[in-house]
């Protein structure tokens, strides 16, 4: 494996870690949830590291740019479903629904904006990065749900998930507002073309 192929391998590994963390989570073994949380945390680290490496090595590709957010959304959706089912808490479930709705709609928006040569309008913001980091931390902690180094990570996971959900709503609004002029401009052009 060459150094140039490492970012793509890391992206694929994130997809492969989905069944790994799910099997770990439900396995009838000691410390199953610890191993599930660890597998998810490794996936979360590759989320940051593969993009960084691709830029550093100058090996960005269209396939990698497409697969990276898909891999992110798949593993986050799987983890959100697991914690929503596990905790049976209305606020956890609402947070999971809001996060998944935003992820799907913003992905669709970015795809549409790219087709209209305006993808940079909805490029990932700094607040979006904070949202992603907080949601990945929350999910890691909730998947583990236990105590380590004297810290109850499961308890910390709840406020972190709610914080991520609030940032989800804020960034959802920000991206939508940024895209609106392009949407309106395209709609008016479509209306002219139809006449």
What is the tens place of the pLDDT at every residue in 128-149? 889 989 999 999 999 988 888 8
What is the tens place of the pLDDT at every residue in 38-86? 988 888 888 777 767 767 777 666 666 677 777 888 889 999 999 999 9
Exposed, middle or buried, 123 (CB in 10 Å: 0-12/13-18/19+)? exposed
- In CATH terms, 3-193 corresponds, of 3.40.50.1100, 1.20.120.1760, 3.50.50.60, 1.10.10.10, to 1.20.120.1760
Phi, then psi, of 117 in degrees rounded to 5: 55, 40
DSSP at 147 = E
Distance CA 116, CA 67 (A): 20
**The whole model's pTM is what?**
0.81
Contact yes or no for 169/94 (Cβ under 8 A): no
* Domain extents in the chain: 3-193
What is the tens place of the pLDDT at every residue in 24-43? 899 898 888 899 989 888 88
What is the tens place of the pLDDT at every residue in 93-130? 999 999 999 988 888 888 877 777 776 777 777 888 89
């Amino acid at each position: 494996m060459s150094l140039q192929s490492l970012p793509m391998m890391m992206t694929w590994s994130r997809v492969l870690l989905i069944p790994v963390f799910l099997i770990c989570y439900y396995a009838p073994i000691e410390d199953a949830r610890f191993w599930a949380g660890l597998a998810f945390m490794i996936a979360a680290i590759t989320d940051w590291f593969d993009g960084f490496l691709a830029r550093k090595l100058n090996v960005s590709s269209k396939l990698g740019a497409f697969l990276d957010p898909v891999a992110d959304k798949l593993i986050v959706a799987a983890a959100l479903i697991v914690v929503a089912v596990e905790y049976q808490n209305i606020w956890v479930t609402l947070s999971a629904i809001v996060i998944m709705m935003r992820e799907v709609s913003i992905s669709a928006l970015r795809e549409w904006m790219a087709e209209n040569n305006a993808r940079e309008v909805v490029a990932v913001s700094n607040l979006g990065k904070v949202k992603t980091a907080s949601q990945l931390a929350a999910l890691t902690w909730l998947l583990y749900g236990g105590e380590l180094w004297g810290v109850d990570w499961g308890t910390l996971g709840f406020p972190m998930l709610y914080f991520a959900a609030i940032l989800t709503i804020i960034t959802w609004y920000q991206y939508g507002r940024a895209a609106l002029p392009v949407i309106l401009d395209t709609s008016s052009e479509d209306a002219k073309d139809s006449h």
